[in-house]
Structure 1
Amino acid sequence: MMASNIDVVNSWNAATTLLNRYFSISIFFFGIVGNILNILVLSQRNLRSNSCAFLFLMSSVANLVAIFSGLFTRTTSGWTADLTNTITWLCQIRTFVVFASRTVAYCLVALATVDRYLSSCTNVRRRQMSSLKNTRQGTILILIFSCLLYVQMFYCYEANLLDAPLRCYGKTIACRLITDLTYVFFANIIPLIVMLCFGLLTIINITQTKHRVNHIDLSHSSDVIRHSQRHLKKIDHYLLIMLSVQVALFALFTLPQNIQKFVALAEINQPKSKLDTAIENFIFNFFLLFAYLANGMTFYINTLFGGSVFRNELMKLVRGKCR
């Protein structure tokens, strides 16, 4: 290899190191602070009994676990040794927790979208399905399912690998294929499809409900009807914005990593130069970290687009802590 190529390879490797050191720190604190605040706000009395709020609360807990387990060692690896890169059982446990917790978090948000749809239905039986009891049962099922989904990690993942994007990675091509496809479909694509479908169905339900309200005879209880119309319009407005922002950002933060995984799997048997490998490692690490933004964005979305309900609870929490 020519000296110039060696310098370029070293530059890409150095860029990857800096990316893991500083970008991961930003995401780590961004996500930790956001999820802790989200948990505190959603634990308030006015919100914790709501089935949808409960799902967002549990999703925030899962996001907190995912960010801490996935990024803590990355943020400290620039200054101390990352033991998950050298000790296989630590590598396996960390990877299992990261993948399972992220899957739990995304599936709970998808389940929250289903809950919103059920609560907006005019059918009484469907509305009754939107309950705290059912969401708790759904949370337990998702947790069990997500854990079973990644049991193979304890066989597939190994530390001290040199021919992989990460030192702690799948030890065979078959392991990488199974793990990547499982994560892409069950943690990203399927939850995203559920969010889109039930989000649109929820908006349709709200629109139909609003249409029926508009056809009620206003000669009776006109003040009540006008208040109801304003309330429905406000809910419809915030719901549309929150759904759009959540789904758009979820897709923005997770789909690039999924595309990168598919491309990497398609080229897995192709011979590559050291420069190609260095560039691919940088891209892999960038999209890996970029996807973690999806685990830390919920609080900021709720604060910016959640209307007065979430912000009022946040202000109550702040005032209560300041006393």
Structure 2
Amino acid sequence: MYTERNSSNNSTASCTFNVSLFLRYAGTSVVVFGLLGNFLSILVFSRKTLRSRSCSIYFLALSVSDVHVLLGYTIETLLSYGFNIQLLSYPLMCKLIIFLIYASTDISNYLLTLAAIDRCILVSNYSVRFRFCRKSTAKLTVLIVVLVFSLINSHILIGFHVDETGSCLLMNTTYSSFYTNYYDSYIDIIKTVLLPFLIIFICNIFIIIKYTRRIHFSMAKISSKRKSRRRREKDRQLTWFLLSTSILFILLSLPSEINDFIRPHLSSNFQNIYSCQILTCATMLILIHQINHASHFYVYTLTGPIFRKEFQRLICLSPKQPRKKDFLIHLQQPSLTLNVSPQYDLDIHQVNNSHIPHSSNSSAYVSF
């Protein structure tokens, strides 16, 4: 990926399409709105109303991982090609940023996969949902995913270096051949896109079938507890979050991965002739891929009334409603109302004066 892009950077001056200008405006807009949306998603999913569900833990971790994806994209692509700021010319940044891009992208995709599995188990009738669909299980699973994919992509930390020209390139010919012909062409596509795609697709089909069968049964249950209805409503909306984000993942991630698979198989002569078009295509497809990580907050806001309500409470647009328990306690507290007239106060004062001796150093105060 990076060798072709670095080598084609020299021919951008002859391109009719200004890649730098495109990234400077379109790329900056995606990053700014994406970072803002993900930070807001973190705040909303951290609220008590939503963080009680196991699926919300996955969406919370997904927002954190998407922030890292966008930060890696900003340093590796936006600053380098849009603003000509070469932070990857430093050896440590070269290794860490490319590792961050690969690891965080894998983590985001598999967190979405875990959310699909969580929803799939929840709508099933098996007892395993009581063990898997829990907050503690979700937190442990998120930690395992982060550790596993950090280890899987750790070879990047030793496989990249900065050459004499200041370009971040592959270390040697052996690793370069493995990375270009196998890892970036087959292994990365299978583990990053195809495997999550298949799992998410199967889980979504199962969820849709289950919900379709339960429509009439759910509508027939008129009398049910309010707390149970709220719990089912949260689960239903979290499922819609999953379905919408899964569709975005499939539509926005596949084109970039297909391009990464095809490009290494192009002949050297073809790449030299059409280097400008190849770079332009790769830049646009990578930006489309980043939209997947930048748009989740806006999808949640459009598809989830509960998410919108919590977001409104977060920004103080909706006043906090008193809890039912506090309202009942307030009603049960006795209230005392005193209506003291001036004549009644005078009579009391006279009666007190008839029984209590006067003293020049004592004073009585009655406050109501």
Q: What TM-score, normalized by structure 1, do the two folds share?
A: 0.82
Judge conservation of contact 2:252–2:289 (CA < 8 Å) in 1.
yes
Q: Which has the higher helix share?
A: 1
SS at match of 1:282: helix
Aligned residue number for residue 177 of structure 1: 181
Identify if the C-alpha distance between structure 1 residues 178 and 19 changes in structure 2 by more than 3 Å, giving closer, same or farther.
farther
What does residue 264 of structure 1 align with? 263
Structure 1 residue 212 displacement after superposition: 4.6
2:125 equivalent to 1:139: no
Q: Give the Cα–Cα distance (whole angstroms) in 2 for the partners of residues 261 and 294 of structure 1.
A: 17
Q: Does 1:206 align with 2:204?
A: no
CA distance in 1, matches of 2:57, 2:235: 21
In structure 2, the partner of 1:5 is: none
**1:131 Cα deviation after fit:** 0.9
Deviations 1:130-154 (A, max 9, x none): 1111111111111111111212212
Equivalent residue for 2:13, pick from 3, 10, 14: 10
Distance in 2 between residues matched to 1:312 and 1:322, nearest whole Å:
10
1:4 corresponds in structure 2 to none
Q: CA deviation at 1:281?
A: 1.4
Aligned to 2:358: none
- Structure 1 CA distance, aligned partners of 2:224 and 2:307? 25
Matched residue, 1:290:
288
**Deviations 1:260-318 (CA, angstroms, capped at 9, x unpaired):** 01111222x54236441121111112211221111111111100012x11110000001
- Identity score, percent: 21
1:88 to 69, 86, 91: 91
**Equivalent in the alignment of 1:196:** 201
What is the aligned counterpart of 1:317 among 314, 325, 331? 314
Task: Find the residue that maps to 2:15 and give its secondary structure.
Answer: helix
Give, in angstroms, the shift of residue 213 of structure 1. Answer: 4.8
User: Is 1:277–2:287 an aligned residue pair?
Assistant: no
Unaligned runs of 5+ in 2: 1-10, 321-368
Distance 1:73 1:262, change over 3 A: closer
Residue 304 (structure 1) aligns with? 302
- How many Å apart are 1:167 and its aligned residue? 4.4
Q: Distance in 1 between matches of 2:71 and 2:30?
A: 10
Residue 113 of structure 1 is matched in structure 2 by 116
Q: 1:32 to 1:322 in 2, by over 3 A?
A: farther
CA distances 1:177-222 after superposition (whole Å, capped 9, x unpaired): 34423332222221121111111212222333445556x7xxxxx6
Range 107-116 or range 227-236, more displaced: 227-236
SS in 1 for 2:270: coil
Q: Single out whichever of 16-25 and 108-117 deviates more from structure 2.
A: 16-25
How far is the alpha carbon of 1:159 from its aligned partner? 3.4
- Structure 2 letter corresponding to 1:319: C
Q: 2:252–2:288: 8 Å Cα contact kept in structure 1? A: yes
Could you tell me how far apart the structure 2 residues matched to 1:49 and 1:208 are?
Answer: 27
Structure 2 CA distance for aligned equivalents of residues 161 and 280 of structure 1:
25
Per-residue CA deviations over 1:115-136 (Å, capped at 9, x if unaligned) read 1111112223334321111111
Does the 8 Å CA contact 2:35/2:70 hold for their aligned counterparts?
yes
Indicate the SS of the match to 1:124: coil
Is the Cα–Cα contact under 8 Å of residues 121 and 127 in structure 1 kept in the other structure? no
User: Which stretch shows the higher mean deviation, 202-211 or 56-65?
Assistant: 202-211
> How far apart are the structure 2 equivalents of 1:67 and 1:100?
12
Match of 1:153 in 2: 156
Q: Secondary structure at the match of 1:158?
A: strand
Report which of the two structures shows the higher radius of gyration computed on alpha carbons.
2
| Counterpart Cα distance in 2 of 1:161 and 1:187 | 32
Residues of 2 paired with 1:321 and 1:127: CA distance?
34
How many residues of Structure 1 are paired with residues of Structure 2 in the alignment? 304
Once structures 1 and 2 are overlaid, which stretch shifts more, 119-128 or 292-301? 119-128
